Structure 1
Amino acid sequence: MTNRPRWGVNAAVNRRSVLVGLGAVGAFLAVDLGAVAYANKWIGSDSARTTFLNGFRTVNGPQLGFRKNHAKGLAVSGYFESNGNAADLSRAALFRPGQVPVVGRFSLSGGDAHVTDAPGAPRGLGLAIGFPGRGQWRTAMLNLPVFPDNSPRGFYDRLLASKIVPGTGQPDPAATKAFLAAHPETAAAMDIIKKHPPGKGFGDSTFRSLNAFYFVNDAGVRTPVRWSLVPQQNSAPAPRSGNANGLFDALIRQLRGGPLRWHLLVTIAQPGDPLTDATLPWPDDRQSIDVGLLTLTAAATEAPGNARDVNFDPLVLPDGIEPSDDPLLSARSDIYAASYRQRTGEPKSPPAVQVSEVGP
């Protein structure tokens, strides 16, 4: 664990799929309402929140009671076991050797809560690691090598360009062309994404933070990092033909066969690596440290008391992890909070993925 690069306190798939995509409830709610007001740089922008929520509704319809993005999902639970390797990078208590509980949610990108699973659709994994109100860490990751956008405006423009034209099942080609011409950073990111085809399912997918953060140790040294969850299992069952919930049902069956595990790798930036642009990858030779093992043991239909009502706000961070200045982080936090507040006040209907209905 020596000779790690440090920066001091003052140092500096498929094109259609990408366009279309992208504890007790009371305890989680108390954390959510306090954390949003504390952490969010964009919190005062009512117009921005309304604009995004209206955009999701325009593209996907009302989707009452569901998340406005990553609407289709499955709750999971398990634990994270730290090996202590991150202790000199971060003072976060959850990086001390030992286990903490995990509540999580697998999802598909996009705002249609009953969409048919598509093999190329970006897959998400949200995690709440540790105890609510006691240094919990929340992270929302994707199985992509880079994020398609580097600004809130870029995300919003891509959202509108993704609207399906009735009768075609596809976005308007002219809207897609105009969007990519206006956002060359997304065109470049999509080229990178297409070179990294996804695995068969959720169980063999690598999930990445994509945004940069800082780990802060006891001495106050801030180390810029990104993280990823790399699967210990090297395969996943293929979705069954004709099954609208094929990816999720395959995950449920895989979990019934035993726990699924991912190594948490923390990658350390070097000076000059981009910290505020998630469309740009870091070089492959950057040092990565295995800091622990995520073990998921059970899946459950989304319902009160599990991940359904957790806001996986990326700015809910324990002492020892701090956000970078990436503009997507504050925007994500704000829109997640707005979506959370909106859906909790809406009528609920059954989610598409029902664990009890999945056969052997």
Structure 2
Amino acid sequence: MSYLFPTYARWDVEPVDAAGSYLTDSEGKQYLDFTSGIGVCNLGHRPRVVKEAIEHQLNRFWHVSNLFASGEQEKAAKKLATAAEMDAVFFANSGAEANEAAIKLARKATGKPKIITFKKSFHGRTFATMSATGQDKIKSGYGPMLEKFSYATYNDIDSVKEIFTDDVAAVMLEIIQGEGGVHVGDKSFLQAVEKLCHEKNALLIVDEIQTGIGRTGRPFAFQHFSLNPDIVTSAKGLGSGVPIGAVLGKESLKAFFGPGSHGSTFGGNPISIAAANATMNIIFDEVFLKEVEHKGDYLISQLAKFFQSNTLVKEVRGKGLMIGIEFKQSIQAILQELRTEGVLALPAGENVLRLLPPLTATIHEIDEFLIHLKKVVEAIAEPVVKA
């Protein structure tokens, strides 16, 4: 009997140890982990520098509340805002909380209620972020969602214009739709959305929960597309596994998040801030990010080369080390066989295999992954033409 609610379709793998790109289960089996805790462990498992920063803070104090001044929070906020070219930061505990705060801030700052998001999007599981999510399966069974959320078609600017009424406070989007299937935004589409927001006196919110903190080879994915959003949200990779989220905004928005307007008991607690500062010190280094971009290009090119002759695969897409392989059938058997081979990967919907390796993964580890993936896929269906 389990005393846990059965909210997760858990794998038959119980981790007992992990370091770098590898995880060991309770049976002693080692796995190459290309999930990174769903895009959280961007520096791999237990990165030494982050561990030391956490231990240092553990020996000072653990919690005092946000009523007290915090020099370490200020350092983290400056690093995060500078990397994103923003001006102000609010620290939360998760991506859902960050997106919830972004929705609140947009409505308060504009005095307008409507938020436009996109079909296949995912923004969280609180009521506001669930309402913002463009997937019915996330909302099933919970009754009416919150009002004033409308859903356009991703990469279709006309669908945005059709529902862009005068009461729109913001458009909220992911640069790469992660849970929705790893769909990358077109530059022309993303820039057209930003232009439309400016014309209509609405805000642009970019959800960088999964794509941020170096995942795509830039500090934030929107920076590949010359965008200048009003609000950016971050979480996952920010704390290297310690829970933390953040809302970033422009200077003009500070007046709408004054004392008493929003808050969090644990948001930006000393332990998570120590982890975030140490994480950002490594990931926001220009040389480190160039390496991520190089490794991402390498992995995508190798996947495209292999799958060009395979009848099971429809498309390989992604940016940096956030990659989706869309198959023409369910990937559940592939995921299971990969685990048998000692490799961990993720789904993104029924047919998309999602890869989120640590940003520290080596070319050797990428090649190791490719060997196992080819073995599994070739066992399911031989390519039409051998590579």
Q: TM-score range by the shorter chain?
A: under 0.3
TM-score (normalised: structure 1): 0.27
User: Rg larger in 1 or in 2?
Assistant: 2
TM-score in terms of structure 2 length: 0.26
**Does 1 or 2 have the higher relative contact order (CA < 8 Å, sep 6+)?**
1
The structure that is helix-richer by fraction is 2
